[in-house]
Amino acid sequence: MTTVATTTDRLFASVERLQGTTPWGRVLDAGTGEHSLRWLSERPTEALAAVTASEAMARGLREKVPLRPQDRLIIGNWTDPTLLAGETFDTVLADYLLGAVDGFAPYFQDQLFPRLRPLVRHRLYTIGLAPYPDVAEDEGGALILELARLRDACILLAKHRCYREYPLDWTCRHLERAGFTVEDAWSTPIVYRERFITGQLRVCESKLGYLSDKAL
């Protein structure tokens, strides 16, 4: 009997609760990263296909996350109509994929869910981040907003594209327009800790080499 690792991630734990006793079957991680791929690799799936548009991400994942012979790590962009054409999956995860689209396929957001719909045989789980408010309610929130502006400024000055997040109601509307039935949807607060702050500052640092004006 295979022992399934218990996740400590609240969002993935919610997905596991919704999945219940339904078999995972063939699974697609439509916008993979180390966090989601590692979690899915520990679930009792028949086969796992993980898609990323980043070659650097794919190289890192191959080194960090062991996969089985039946699993695939695919470099591709959802604007490509041949990507996984004709395939279907019992379970599809879009973990922060919607917000990342603008970084790899600008203005494709409204086509993302119609693009995924033919691939979904049973269930699609979508996880996203609500857009930050323009004004914070407290001092801690104000610091997070300042950090987000610094990060985005560094990305733009490096001539790269920022991610663009969408609110829950926008996401639900476009899921339904794509032919999905939204069975459950909710929002949960995020507590940003040192790891998040450090990660955002590392993003800023990684963009410095691309700046043409070193005086900035």
Residue 159 lies in a domain: no
Residue 141 lies in a domain: no
Residue 143 lies in a domain: no
- Rounded-to-integer distance, Cα 100 and Cα 50, Å: 15
Phi/psi of residue 44, each to 5°? -80, 70
Predicted pLDDT of residue 216: 65
Q: What digits encode the pLDDT tens for the residues 6-44?
A: 788 899 999 999 999 999 999 999 999 999 999 999 999
Predicted pLDDT of residue 7: 82
Average pLDDT over all residues of the chain: 94
Residue 195 lies in a domain: no
Question: Residue 97: pLDDT band by 50, 70, 90 thresholds?
Answer: very high
Residue 156 lies in a domain: no
Residue 16 lies in a domain: yes
Q: What digits encode the pLDDT tens for the residues 121-149?
A: 999 999 999 999 999 999 999 999 999 99
Structure tokens at 194: 């040192």
Using the predicted structure, report yes or no on whether residue 1 has a pLDDT greater than 90. Answer: no
Phi/psi of residue 123, each to 5°? -135, 140
**What number is the average pLDDT over the span 84-95?**
98
- Rounded-to-integer distance, Cα 22 and Cα 90, Å: 10
Predicted pLDDT of residue 3: 55
Using the predicted structure, report yes or no on whether residue 56 has a pLDDT greater than 50. Answer: yes
Residue 139 lies in a domain: no
Domain span at residue 90?
A: 10-130+165-189
Beta bridge partners of 50: 29, 73
Q: How many domains does the chain have?
A: 1
Strands 120-127 and 89-95, bridge-based pairing: parallel
Residue 158 lies in a domain: no
- Rounded-to-integer distance, Cα 22 and Cα 93, Å: 15
Write down the H helix ranges in 20-166: 34-41, 55-64, 97-104, 109-116, 139-157
**CATH classification at residue 66:** 3.40.50.150
